[in-house]
Chain A
Amino acid sequence: MWSRTLSGFILGLLLSISVALNLNLLLPIAQDVSLLIGLLVAFPIWAGVQVWSYSFSSAKQAWLKGTIVLAPNVVLSTILMMMGLSA
């Protein structure tokens, strides 16, 4: 149980940060509104991933599936950040 807790905790945290950042970088809205939206979505995503992680029968599966979801988000965040830096 502890290993699945760890996978959900870390992957959920990273995914929630990544999604909140992507929304902030993608949405053409005022910065304060964007920060609020990020805050509103971040915690439910974190808790949701944690629950998802518990639904697997092994920690290995939880890490694998979670990473598959996290990876494209991190890639998108990186691309958006680089585009922002070069602009």
Chain B
Amino acid sequence: MKREALKALTNAHAWIGLVISTVLFIVFFAGSLSLFRDNIAQWESAPHFANEHSSTQISLDNTIAAIEQQYKIYMHDEVRIWLPNKQEPLTNITFAAQLPDEQHQDLDLLLSPSSNKIVGSGDSFDFANFLYGLHVDLHIDEFGKYLVGLTTLFFFVALISGVVIHWRKIIGKFFQYRKDGDKDRLLDAHNVIGVMGLPFHIMYAFSGLVFNLLIIFQISYAVVLYGGDQQALFKDAGFVDTHIEEANIAQPMVGLDKLMAKAKQDLGNVEFTRISIEHFGDQSASIVFIGKDSSQFSTRKEIRYHIASGQELYKTLNNYDNALRSGLSVIASLHFGDFAGYGLRLLFFILGIGTCYIILTGNLMWIEKRASKRKVNKLGLHLVKAMTSGTFIGIIFATGVGFIAARVLPITTVLRSEMIIELFFVCLFATMTASLLSKQSLFTTWLCKLTAMILVAVPLLDWLMFANEIILMVQCQRFDIIVVEVILILLAFACWKFSGQVSTYDTELQVNLPRQDLSNINVNH
């Protein structure tokens, strides 16, 4: 590649990195934690119900009857049931309850599988879902989803351009990390982690694009290939329509246990991940059992029955028998890291946090290069510094505070989850504001140290408040709390180490800048 093209690409790489850095950092940080979404959900709720034990004899009929005793289930919405298992011993059911005047209210309930008694509200334990939402769309709904999609596209662009720039040295300087002397540690750290994690980054860039920007190709296919017939496209894409129109004739919702036994027989080796009932209480009602075959890679099985007649409406033993659905299922499995055990997810977590470090070093290199120039926009530089410290470290700090709040707030607190989310955003905006108004390096150092202490405080609080419950859970081989504590301690360690690096780096920068010409930092790859 010509030198001019390489230089143009290097400048573009730095520019793209800076533009997408904030959103990308949030997405990767929240995504890394979301690898343990189920564990975090259990970490938050399980100590409150540690005495509940999973039962292998679950009766759907009894569960539904217990709900119907207290609520009138709204027919036009879907009833979803997550059966208890060894890790999650409570039955979780979501539905809309009919209220007077055609109103309805969404409910998320937790039931004891042995007594079918409602023991809590799923809405009270939403911190894991909040972090996942932050990863998916930054909690800005559709706009956020496309913003994250575009950020992922430019992350992909940064990856490809990074490989092209670094190509000649990608093998020879594979392990190069110049720790001492005046060599560039930031650049080496950026390159080493970037190259070693390259397959992981490519997988995440691609799968993230598929999740957030697939709609673009869906529209183009529907318009050009299918002449606007979206249903025909969905059919080819493996989406089977088994919908039955509402009959508006009342039908008791009984015989569900029989259908569940039949579903187990029909689907073979399967663990149900979800059960849904459509048109609850109507003659048209149908029930679908969705499960995963744990003996095969990324294989979803599903069967749907008409409840009144018991007639089978649809069955698939292999990802809807469609190559596109199979492909999407594989992409999802890779993205969520749910095809193996904790070891793989821990590796993905470390690589994810490593990516956050790449983003951080990218910004620091940009700041360093800009600071070395004679004509420098001081305000712009200060804003980038504030964005880097206030938002990057701030998001970790806010998450730590969120974990603390999720642990200490009583479960009877009204709008508990909403309070935790508000506290999260207050902390984030506070750190962003404080970083704008303070001396950057000092602020970053202390914020990192404070964040590390907050993160370490979470396991301490766990054991202070729920020692007996945690021991009981571990005895039942439920390790969610331990897993979450391990990842928080790892994060705390990373923050503490980084705080030391910031102060050292700042001191060296102050000493070296007047003598060192850093303007060619990027083209010297």
A residues whose Cβ falls under 8 Å from a Cβ of B: 1, 4, 8, 13, 16-17, 20-21, 24-25, 30-33, 35-36, 38-40, 42-44, 46-48, 50-51, 54-57, 77, 81
Cα distance A13–B150 in the bound complex, in angstroms: 12
CB distance from A15 to the nearest CB of B (A): 12
Do residues A51 and B206 form an inter-chain contact, with CB atoms below 8 A?
no
Decide if B482 is an interface residue (CB 8 Å cutoff).
Answer: no
Cα distance A66–B10 in the bound complex, in angstroms: 20
Q: Which residues of B contact A8 (CB under 8 A)?
A: 157
Mask, B1-37, CB within 8 Å of A = 1, is 1001110110111011000000000000000000000
Binds A, one of B185-193, B218-226, B262-270, B276-284: B218-226
A39-B210 CB under 8 A given contacts A51-B161, A55-B5: yes
Do residues A1 and B15 form an inter-chain contact, with CB atoms below 8 A?
yes
Q: Is the interface of A mostly helix, strand, loop or mixed?
A: helix
- The one of B153, B209, B217, B325 in contact with A38, judged by C-beta atoms closer than 8 angstroms, is B217
Do residues B12 and A36 form an inter-chain contact, with CB atoms below 8 A?
no
Do residues B153 and A47 form an inter-chain contact, with CB atoms below 8 A?
yes
Do residues B225 and A39 form an inter-chain contact, with CB atoms below 8 A?
no
- The one of A20, A47, A55 in contact with B156, judged by C-beta atoms closer than 8 angstroms, is A47
Decide if B501 is an interface residue (CB 8 Å cutoff).
Answer: no
B residues whose Cβ falls under 8 Å from a Cβ of A: 1, 4-6, 8-9, 11-13, 15-16, 153-154, 156-157, 160-161, 164, 205-206, 209-210, 213-214, 216-217, 220-221, 224-225, 236-238, 322-325, 327
Nearest-CB residue, chain B, relative to A50: B157
A50-B324 CB under 8 A given contacts A17-B220, A38-B221, A81-B224: no
Cα distance A20–B221 in the bound complex, in angstroms: 9
Nearest-CB residue, chain A, relative to B321: A32
Q: Which residues of B contact A55 (CB under 8 A)?
A: 1, 5-6, 8-9, 12, 164
Q: Which residues of B contact A17 (CB under 8 A)?
A: 216-217, 220, 224
Nearest-CB residue, chain B, relative to A20: B217
Q: Which residues of B contact A20 (CB under 8 A)?
A: 217, 220-221
A44-B9 CB under 8 A given contacts A36-B324, A39-B217: no
Do residues A32 and B214 form an inter-chain contact, with CB atoms below 8 A?
no
Q: Which of the listed residues A30, A42, A55, A81 has the most CB atoms from chain B within 10 Å of its own CB?
A: A55
Do residues A51 and B157 form an inter-chain contact, with CB atoms below 8 A?
yes
Do residues B157 and A35 form an inter-chain contact, with CB atoms below 8 A?
no
Cα distance A46–B150 in the bound complex, in angstroms: 11
20 example contacts (A-B, Cβ-Cβ < 8 A) are as follows: A13-B216, A17-B217, A21-B225, A31-B236, A32-B238, A33-B324, A35-B236, A38-B221, A39-B210, A39-B217, A39-B327, A43-B153, A43-B156, A43-B209, A43-B210, A47-B160, A51-B157, A51-B161, A54-B12, A55-B9
Cα distance A6–B15 in the bound complex, in angstroms: 14
Do residues A56 and B217 form an inter-chain contact, with CB atoms below 8 A?
no
Q: Which residues of A contact B327 (CB under 8 A)?
A: 36, 39-40
Cα distance A21–B226 in the bound complex, in angstroms: 11
Do residues B323 and A30 form an inter-chain contact, with CB atoms below 8 A?
yes
Q: Which residues of B contact A47 (CB under 8 A)?
A: 153, 156-157, 160, 205
Cα distance A62–B9 in the bound complex, in angstroms: 13
Q: Which residues of B contact A77 (CB under 8 A)?
A: 224
Cα distance A30–B216 in the bound complex, in angstroms: 22
